[in-house]
């Protein structure tokens, strides 16, 4: 190329490809897209940004006037999908990558997201799976069932309705069953499995004791923390209002919401995004409770805000941010 392509031109072409990807690419278009991406490394990031903005604009339009708390906090305008693609990259700044995968094999297919990466994956039946940072799953579809195994991390599922093939998510010793609904499942070390339902309802049962008790029904706007135990004793689901659901799912847009977790737990969440690890030098400080909504890609800003709130000190190094009294 005799002249270097401008960033504006790359963003414009990325917007076009995001629009085409949304309705599905032909084999010829896939070849052309691969060739375009290979021509300039900047194009990969531009396409990821465009796809993220496309997804957000589509979702905002569906919600109408009900805007998530995360969006209000950042004061993002609700734009048309096309205008958002061409005119803004603010939303996608917190997302390392958003990937659309239209087909999966029927064998168990492993999928992962890296530190700091959020992946939105379109499954073959029309369901959509969004992986939080540092998440591992396998996906297996058969004629009788659709099954995802969440090995670690957090994922949000928007399930296409198919009564003949229930949708299952396995998490540790638990199985979550859905037909057509939207819900998240979280598997973090040292914490209970968290199931949160934003649409429809799911049932939860134990793999090791399938007949020990009736499955636990979790309806829309409810969540449940499920401990590993020898005996299946389903807890009572907790109800949430729409703002609380929005905050709990704000990780899909690069935001982290906390409602009374310890600072130590909060810091472990930031570590999943792989930038400037936060180190708490005072064990008592790690036990302080944190509430708020923060950008996942700004650990220094978070540490500074927490230091002001808790009367602590911040010391930033090359790879670590230290918090101390």
pLDDT of residue 90: 37
Summarize pLDDT for 140-183 with one digit per residue, the tens.
Answer: 998 889 999 999 999 999 999 998 899 999 999 899 999 779 99
Q: Is the pLDDT of residue 230 over 60?
A: no
For residue 293, list its beta bridge partners: 257
The set of residues, in sequence order, having a beta carbon less than 8 Å from that of 97 and lying 6+ positions away, is 48, 117, 118, 119
Percentage of the residues of the chain whose pLDDT score is greater than 90? 43
Alpha-carbon distance of 315 to 324, in angstroms, equals 8
Within its chain, how far is the Cα of 248 from the centroid?
Answer: 10
DSSP labels, 84-108: HHHH--TGGGG-S---------SS-
Alpha-carbon distance of 273 to 271, in angstroms, equals 5
Judge whether 273 and 117 are in contact, CB under 8 Å.
no
210: confidence class by pLDDT, cuts 50, 70, 90: low
Tell me 278's DSSP state: E
∠ CA(193), CA(199), CA(200), 5° rounding? Answer: 95
Domains and CATH numbers, the chain: 7-93 (no CATH), 109-244 (2.60.120.1440), 254-324 (3.55.50.30)
* Higher-scoring residue by pLDDT: 58, 303: 303
Summarize pLDDT for 41-55 with one digit per residue, the tens.
Answer: 677 667 766 766 655
Alpha-carbon distance of 325 to 284, in angstroms, equals 9
Q: Is the pLDDT of residue 234 over 90?
A: no
Tell me 4's DSSP state: P
Q: Is the pLDDT of residue 67 over 50?
A: no
Query: Which residue from 272, 270, 273, 250 is spatially nearest to 323, judged by alpha carbons?
Result: 270
Summarize pLDDT for 79-106 with one digit per residue, the tens.
Answer: 334 333 433 333 343 344 444 444 444 5
Query: Which residue from 315, 245, 235 is spatially nearest to 280, judged by alpha carbons?
Result: 315
Burial 172-186 (b: 16+ CB within 10 A, else e): bebbbbbbebbbbbb
239: which 2 tokens? Answer: 């109800």
pTM for the structure as a whole:
0.67
276: helix, strand or coil: coil
pLDDT of residue 276: 82
Alpha-carbon distance of 51 to 14, in angstroms, equals 8
pLDDT of residue 86: 37
For residue 49, list its beta bridge partners: none
Extended beta strands in 190-248, E state:
193-199, 201-206, 216-219, 222-226, 238-239
User: Whose structure tokens read 């990969």?
Assistant: 44
Alpha-carbon distance of 256 to 187, in angstroms, equals 16
For residue 324, list its beta bridge partners: 313
User: Whose structure tokens read 């903005």?
Assistant: 53
Give the CA radius of gyration of the chain: 21
Alpha-carbon distance of 111 to 325, in angstroms, equals 41
């Amino acid at each position: 190329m005799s002249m270097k392509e401008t960033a504006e031109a790359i963003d414009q072409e990325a917007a076009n490809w995001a629009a085409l990807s949304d309705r599905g690419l032909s084999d010829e278009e896939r070849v052309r897209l691969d060739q375009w991406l290979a021509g300039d490394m900047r194009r990969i990031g531009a396409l990821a940004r465009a796809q993220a903005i496309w997804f957000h604009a589509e979702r905002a339009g569906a919600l109408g006037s009900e805007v998530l708390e995360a969006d209000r906090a950042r004061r993002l305008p609700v734009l048309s999908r096309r205008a958002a693609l061409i005119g803004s990259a603010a939303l996608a700044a917190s997302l390392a990558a958003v990937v659309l995968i239209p087909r999966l094999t029927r064998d168990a297919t492993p999928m992962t997201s890296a530190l700091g990466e959020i992946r939105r994956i379109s499954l073959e039946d029309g369901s959509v799976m969004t992986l939080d940072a540092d998440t591992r799953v396998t996906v297996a579809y058969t004629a009788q069932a659709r099954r995802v195994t969440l090995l670690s991390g957090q994922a949000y599922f928007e399930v296409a309705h198919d009564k003949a093939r229930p949708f299952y998510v396995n998490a540790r010793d638990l199985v979550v069953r859905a037909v057509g609904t939207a819900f998240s499942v979280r598997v973090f070390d040292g914490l209970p499995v968290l199931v949160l339902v934003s649409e429809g309802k799911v049932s939860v049962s134990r793999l090791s004791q399938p007949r020990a008790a009736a499955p636990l029904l979790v309806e829309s706007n409810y969540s449940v923390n499920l401990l590993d135990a020898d005996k299946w004793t389903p807890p009572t689901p907790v109800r949430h209002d729409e703002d609380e659901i929005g905050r709990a799912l704000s990780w899909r847009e690069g935001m982290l919401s906390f409602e009374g977790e310890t600072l130590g737990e909060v810091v472990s969440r930031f570590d999943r995004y792989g930038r400037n690890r936060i180190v708490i030098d005072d064990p008592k400080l790690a036990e302080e409770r944190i509430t708020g909504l923060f950008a996942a890609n700004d650990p220094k800003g978070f540490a500074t805000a927490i230091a002001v709130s808790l009367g602590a000190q911040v010391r930033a190094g090359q790879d670590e941010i230290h918090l101390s009294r």
